[in-house]
Amino acid sequence: MKYIPLFLVALLAILSGCADKDKKGDAAAFGDSTDDIYDQPLPERSGNPDNADYETLKSETVYFAYDSFTIEAKERPKLDKLANYLSNNANTKIVIAGHTDVRGTPQYNLALSEKRATAVRQYLIGLGANGSNISTIGYGEDRPASEGDSESAHTDNRRASPGILR
């Protein structure tokens, strides 16, 4: 009986050593095999994201499902187009602004908006975009595209918007 705790500790050590180190987290949902979404340092911003031009690239805004930062297949063509734009405009610096709807705490929404922006940045890098030209910012629920508490408004607000830094 006195060896049971020792046995449990040894079993736990053995099982934790057998964990699948190749297991992919949420990054696998981006359509690539990166699991290092936060490993690449963000560049210093060359402009103020509040003054960025969000209109020029508005059609490349990526929308997300509720409580998710997974880039859905239907949104990926927008990012293909954005990556092409960046390759044709190599000196252009952009910011990806992440947003959420109003559901959730402000702290949670801020973190989720940052994850959305980072997911888009990482996806663009995976397509060959220069990561040093792409910065991110998360606004949480503070800058809604649509006011109100309808499902339509929530859908409009769950987004990551690319803006050209001036």
Helix (H), strand (E), coil (C) string for 70-128 = CCCHHHHHHHHHHHHHHHHCCCCCEEEEECCCCCCCHHHHHHHHHHHHHHHHHHHHHCC
Beta bridge partner(s), residue 53? 164
Sorted by where each starts, the structural domains of the chain and their CATH numbers stand as: 24-164 (3.30.1330.60)
pLDDT for 4? 63
pLDDT for position 58: 97
Residue-wise pLDDT tens digits, 24-71? 333 333 444 344 545 555 555 567 888 999 999 999 999 999 999 999
Specify the pTM: 0.74
How high is the pLDDT of residue 47?
Answer: 73
Q: Give the pLDDT score at 63.
A: 98
Q: Answer yes or no: are the C-beta atoms of 134 and 124 closer than 8 Å.
A: yes
Rounded CA separation 143/100 (Å)? 9
Question: Which residues of the chain are under the pLDDT cut of 70?
Answer: 1-46
Chain-centre distance of CA 165, in angstroms?
Answer: 19
